Amino acid sequence: MQIDLPLVQGRLLRRYKRFLADIELDDGEVIIAHCPNTGSLLGCQPEGARAVLRDSQNPERKLRYTWQTVEVDGTWINVDTSLPNAVVAEAIERGDVPELAGYEGLRREVKYGQNSRIDVLLEGAPGRCYVEVKSTTLARGDQALFPDAVTERGRKHLEELANQAEAGDRAVIFFLISRGDVTSFAPADDIDPVYGETLRAVVARGVEALAYSTVVKPHMLDLGQRLPIVLD
């Protein structure tokens, strides 16, 4: 997935009020950028880290710039949660996700369940496949973890997927790790033990779990390698 809008680089000064980040541009100007991530961004916001901003080119927008990526210990990490769904959808359409191949139709943001929207709905000869994409940035060592904060909404999505699986459809929880320096994935049980318990329970009920890394560069994001999921 190529980023078409112009990019500028700087250094992260601080992230605050969840959706705001102060960035010092390379020319010394300090701007307030939109932070499109509701998580804690644990481990992804060291002061002084290199940061990439996307320029909306809209001077009428309250916050013209969006914080897109950050560099931590030499690794670029995508912090913009509006991008992973498109990355996954494009990869499926290209045939880069063999586990989700064989469907003729792909729709995004389709209403289903109890007032929910599925990120990707695949339809075709194999039937229907509901794909919920979760972007995760947290890593400890070479293992990616989700979530980075307690998420009641995330648990609701797991239950909705389990209901679809029990109704006879395929249901997939797709963890897109928004970085490329990891080799496995596991639920962050110490952060949200209930989420970990729910994930294991819905897998036992028929939900399929996939995890992929992401190739992240300032100007692009692309699907990386499939990672083993550790649930034991």
Classified by CATH at the fold level, domain 7-77 comes out as OB fold (Dihydrolipoamide Acetyltransferase, E2P) (2.40.50)
Output the tens digit of pLDDT for each of the chain's 232 residues.
Answer: 999 999 999 999 999 999 999 999 999 999 999 999 999 999 999 999 999 999 999 989 999 999 999 999 999 999 999 999 999 999 999 999 999 999 999 999 999 988 899 999 999 999 999 999 999 999 999 999 999 999 999 999 999 999 999 999 999 999 999 999 999 999 999 999 999 999 999 999 999 999 999 999 999 999 999 999 999 8
CATH 2.40.50.580 domain residues, the chain: 7-77
Cβ 65 vs Cβ 205: under 8 Å: no
Q: What is the CA radius of gyration of the chain?
A: 18
Q: Which top CATH class is 84-226? A: alpha beta
Token pair 């139709």 in the structure block, residue:
105
CATH 3.40.1350.60 intervals, the chain: 84-226
From the list 216, 201, 125, 140, the residue with the least C-alpha distance to 170 is 125
Rounded to two decimals, the pTM is: 0.95
Cis status of the peptide bond prior to 218, with omega within 30 of 0: no
